Amino acid sequence: MNFLLKEAGQDTPDGAEGPGFVIGKLEDVLVLSFVVVDAFTALALVFAAKNLIRKDVDEKHESYYVLGTLANFTWALGIGLLAKLWLGWA
């Protein structure tokens, strides 16, 4: 993600790597769990909650958080759906 932001001419916020990494991994677990149990509506709640929590983020680094959220959701959704297909649960 840092590479993509640098290519777009933006910097990452200071200290975003530590807590953001842990939050991202917990988000991955939630998204994968919701995909496995077909709770796709719950994914919208997680996405909305993250946006509400981060509404006070400095506008200069807003794209960093949006990109991180979208990248995490896309990755976790893809892995969850592939796992369901591979296991024959789809």
Task: Answer yes or no: is 49 within a domain.
Answer: yes
The residue segments making up the domain with residue 24 are 16-87
| pLDDT one digit per residue (tens) for the chain, 90 residues | 566 666 666 666 655 566 777 777 888 888 898 988 889 899 888 888 877 776 666 666 677 777 778 888 888 899 999 988 998 876
Task: Answer yes or no: is 82 within a domain.
Answer: yes
Task: Answer yes or no: is 45 within a domain.
Answer: yes
Number of domains in the chain: 1
What is the C-alpha to C-alpha distance for residues 55 and 12, in angstroms, rounded to an integer? 17
The reported pLDDT for the residue numbered 4 is 61
